[in-house]
Amino acid sequence: QTSVVVQSGGVQVFVDLLRSPNLDVQEQSVWGLGNIAGDSPALRDLVHRSGAMPLLVDVWFASDKVSLRRNTVWTVSNLCRGKPSPALDDVLPAMRMLVDAINSEDDEVLADASWALSYIADGPNNRIQAVIDAGVVQRLVELLAHNQANVVTSALRTVGNIVTGEDAQTESVLSCGVLPLFRGLQGHTKRGIRKEVCWSISNITAGTSKQIQAVLDAGLIEPIIQTLRTDEDDVRKEALWVLANIASGGSSEQLQRLIHMENCATHLVEAVSWNENRMKKCALGAIKLLVEAGRKLQREGKLPENPLAAPLLETDLLEVLERLQERADGDADVPDEAGRILALLGEGEAEDSGQPADGAPGQEDSGQPADGAPG
C-alpha cells in the first residue's frame, strides 16, 4: 500500500496538505507521512527531500490539538529514525519542536520526542553535540524518574547514546546529576531498563579516572557486581563491561577499591566460565589487567604479595585458568590468555621467593584496554 501511495505522488500531496486550514486534513497528512517515513530509510529520505520537516514543525506550534500533536511528534521521530541515519541537516530543523515536546506533560509525546532525540544522538560526536547544544540534557535526566516505563526507556536510550561520546559530552550528563537516578533504576522490574543502565554506566567507566570515581562514589558498582550473578545474560554482559573498563582505565586506588568489594573477585572469576567466548575474553582481560597493575604496586611498594591478585587467588581462579588451558572450545585466544595470566601469577610468586619465573610473557602480552560496551 505504501509503495502505491508513493508511486502515485502521494508524498508531495501529503506535504502540500500540511498547509490545509482544516486540522483533520492536516492530521491525516501527518499520519500518512509518518507511515511512509517509517517504511524504510529510502522512503524516509524521500519525505525529507519533499520538504516535510519544516512544515511539520509549523503544524506542531500552530495547534494544541492533542491527537495532532501526538501524530506530529511520532512522524518526526520516524523521520529521525533508521539506518543509515538521516543527514544531520535534515533533522536539525526539528530540534526546536523536540525541545518544546520534551517539556510536555503528555506521556506519548514525551516518549516519542525522547526517541527522536535518541535517534539523532545515535552516531558520531557531532550528532551527540547537536542534542547537547539543544539544551535538553537536564530534562532527559529528569525523565529518568518518570512513572511511565516507556518514557524512562526512551530518555535512558538518549542519555546512553550521549555518554558514548567524548569525555566532555559524558560530563554534560554527569553534571546534571544522572548517577543517583541510575542507582534507582538498577533494580527496575523491566529487564531492558536494567540492561540500558548497565550499558550507560559501562560507557561512563570507559571515560576518565574522575568519571570512574564518580561512578564508584555513587554506589553503582556494588549492584553491578550482584548483577553478574543474579540477572539475565544480556544484562550480565553489560555489567561485566563496567568492571572491564574500570580495570582498564582506573587508578591503582580505584582498582584496589574495586577488587576488595564484596564478591567482586568471586563473580569476576565466575564470568570466566560463561558460555560465550567473547565474554570469557572480557573477564580474562579484566583479570589480567588487575594482576598486571597489582604487580606494579607490589614492586613499587616492595609489598610481600600482589595486592590486586590476592583477592582473586582466594577464589578458584587457578583451577579455572588451568581448565581453560586444557579446553580450547574452538577459540585459541581463551586458553592463550589463561596461560598468560597463569604465567603472570607464577612470575609474581617467583619474585616473592627470589626465583626466576618460567614462561614469563614479553611486552607484546600487555593487556588491551576494553574500549567500552557494545551498543
What are the C-alpha distances in Å from 101 to residues 73, 117, 326, 335? 8, 11, 58, 53
> Residue 12 falls within a domain, yes or no?
no
Determine the average pLDDT of the residues in 5-24.
91
Max CA pair span of the chain? 89
d(CA 245, CA 230): 21
Structural domain harbouring 215? 202-375
Q: What is the average pLDDT across 99-119?
A: 99
Spatial CB neighbours of 104, under 8 Å, sequence gap ≥ 6: 69, 110, 113
* C-beta atoms surrounding 152 within 10 Å: 25
- pLDDT of 9 above 90: no
Give dist(CA 290, CA 131) in Å, integer: 37
Q: Is 315 part of any domain? A: yes
- Give the mean model confidence (pLDDT) for residues 168-187: 99
Count other C-beta atoms under 10 Å from residue 87's C-beta.
10
Indicate the range of 144-148, 229-233, 289-293, 358-362 predicted with least confidence. Answer: 358-362
- pLDDT tier, 280 (very low <50, low <70, confident <90, very high otherwise): very high
Residue 102 lies in a domain: no
In-domain check, residue 256: yes
* pLDDT the model gives residue 221: 99
- How far is 51 from 70, CA to CA, in rounded Å? 20
Tell me, what CATH number does 360's domain have?
1.25.10.10
What total number of domains does the chain contain? 1
The answer to whether the CB of 243 falls within 8 A of the CB of 286 is yes
Q: Check: CB of residue 337 under 8 Å from CB of residue 285.
A: yes
| Residue 138: pLDDT over 70 | yes
**Over the chain, what is the mean pLDDT?**
92
C-alpha 263/C-alpha 266 separation (Å) is: 5
Whether the predicted model's global pTM rises above the 0.85 cut: yes
Is 166 within a domain? no
Contact 74, 89 (CB under 8 A): no
Residue 217's SS3 state is helix
* Residue 368, in any domain of the structure: yes
Q: What percent of the chain has pLDDT over 90?
A: 87
Is residue 246 in a domain? Answer: yes
Decide if 294 is inside a domain. Answer: yes
* pLDDT exceeds cutoff 50 at 357: no
